[in-house]
Amino acid sequence: MNIKVPDLPADIPTIKVIELADNLAKKSVLLEHKTVAAGFDGFIDTLVKVIKMKEAEQPPSIFSTIGEFGQYIVDKKGASLSLEMEEQSVKLGGNMPIMANAMGQLGVTVHCIGALGYPHQHPIFEIFPSNCKRYSFANPGHTTAFEFSDGKIMMGNMGELNKSGWQVIKERIGLNQIAAVYKQSDLVCMLNWSEIDASTNIWKGFITEVVNIQGNQRNNKSVFFDLADCSKRSDKKIEEAIGLVQEFAKHTKVILSLNRNEAGIIHRILFGQVSDKTIAGLGEAIFSKMGIDIIVVHAAKEAAVFNAGHSVYYKSFYIPNPKISTGAGDNFNAGFCAAVLLQLPADQSLILANAVSGYYVREGRSATLPEIVSFLHQCSNAL
């Protein structure tokens, strides 16, 4: 079945998309010489649809949106209910594995430090491309992801992850190995702080025993942060995580990526009030307060980036009926990190991030760089 190429967002000039595609075609070999270190989670994801109704000899009716599903549950209050799930797939999961896999597909060498199985790595992670090097310190957690056309609901069981802090990582991987990976990496990705109880302990250990050994002056590293959904974390814990991001900024270039929900939480913590700002307004306010190098805020239909010289806002390559939504943000982040490694300007970085995410939700898999180039050309010709 042919899947319709998404329309080019009206606010993105066609010439910019063509320029990016040509730029990527010329620079593709550069990504093969870039190295990233990423950590520290790891999950096995079971993707499901929730069945709304069944009739004999007919395909089941599926809950289409989160709102529809939520209202169904609310309407059953005061009574019991039973729901049936239809399994779509079982795949590697977690911010680090999904993002690392996406960067690996784009050609980057990625050192993956995470919960990939211990003492033996789980076979589900063998799908990683050969340029993804794996270092595991714990068994993966398990997530059931309820997929809808407008998003997903993820229910996680952390397992060993919540108990596997910095000391466990050092003992099972080795401080010298971690320091060597950091030294040779052009970019470090610190991912999924929110879901793992031990994240703050890991970040503190990493900055104290790995980053600080490079000296007190700012080095040429870039560190990319994705807190993930911190709704369940206390304000005090979130403030501590923000402080650690700012501490990293004393030593390295820092990039913070947030989705719309996360940006709202961080804005409330920083300014002491709930905001109804747009993602552009949230990003601008957070950037002005944080004192870091780059802020990215993204949602299904739009994204914005802020740095010292530019602010860019674009609509996304929106896919109304996604083949998969779990991992869309991680693929967005992978595309943005590829742009950072290629030193692309802010506008091209945002277009590339949106394209990598758009391809993923349309096709149900992460793209290679030639596939992204083709995707961009297709979108620019769709007008």
Task: Look at residue 13 in the predicted model and tell me its pLDDT.
Answer: 80
Summarised one tens digit per residue, pLDDT across range 345-366 is 999 999 999 999 999 999 999 9
Per-residue pLDDT tens over the stretch 200-220: 999 999 999 999 876 556 778
134 SS3 class = strand
pLDDT score, position 309: 75
How high is the pLDDT of residue 28? 84
pTM of the predicted model, to two decimals?
0.91
**Token pair for 324:** 């998969």
pLDDT per residue as tens digits for the range 73-101: 999 998 889 999 999 999 999 999 999 99
Secondary structure of residue 81 in the 3-state scheme: coil
What is residue 311's three-state secondary structure? strand
Given this model, what pLDDT does residue 383 score? 45
For the chain, give the percent of residues with pLDDT over 90.
Answer: 78
The pLDDT of residue 1? 32
* Predicted pLDDT of residue 214: 61
Residue 215: what pLDDT?
A: 59
| pLDDT score of 3 more than 60 | no
Q: What is the tens place of the pLDDT at every residue in 160-205?
A: 888 999 999 999 999 999 999 999 999 999 999 999 999 999 999 9
Query: 330, 69 in Cβ contact below 8 A?
Result: no
Mean pLDDT of 27-55: 94
Sequence-distant (6+) residues with CB within 8 A of 246 are 254, 290, 291, 292
